[in-house]
Copies of this chain bind each other. A is one copy, B any other.
Amino acid sequence: MSIFDYFRSAKKDTASIAKERLQIIVAHERNQRNKPDYLPKLQQELLEVIRKYVDVDQDQVEVQLDNNGNCSVLELNITLPERA
């Protein structure tokens, strides 16, 4: 394979490869309207568990916490670092 072929194939890969992502959703549906206050605390612990298996860059973690009636939702969107 010539150096030109190498770049051609490398370029193709870059174009076709989307970023690697991890999404974690925790939804708690309660029968009472007192909000579960453990979801914010849970967030950090979940990340610690995930970190045992994949590299997570703290800057690449997007956290969303919603309370909608008696449903509380914790959403973590993580963009994983690209490997060399």
* Partner-B contacts on A (CB < 8 A): 17-31, 36, 38, 41-42, 45-46, 49-50, 52-54, 82
Chain B proximity of A15: nearest CB distance (Å): 12
Contacts of A18 in B (CB 8 A): 29, 31
9 contacts between A and B (CB under 8 A): A18-B29, A18-B31, A22-B26, A22-B27, A22-B28, A23-B29, A24-B25, A42-B49, A46-B46
* One of B17, B38, B49, B54 near A45 (C-beta < 8 A): B49
Question: Which of B17, B27, B42 lies in contact with A31, CB distance below 8 A?
Answer: B17
CB–CB B26/A21 < 8 A: no
Find the B residue at minimum CB distance from A25: B25
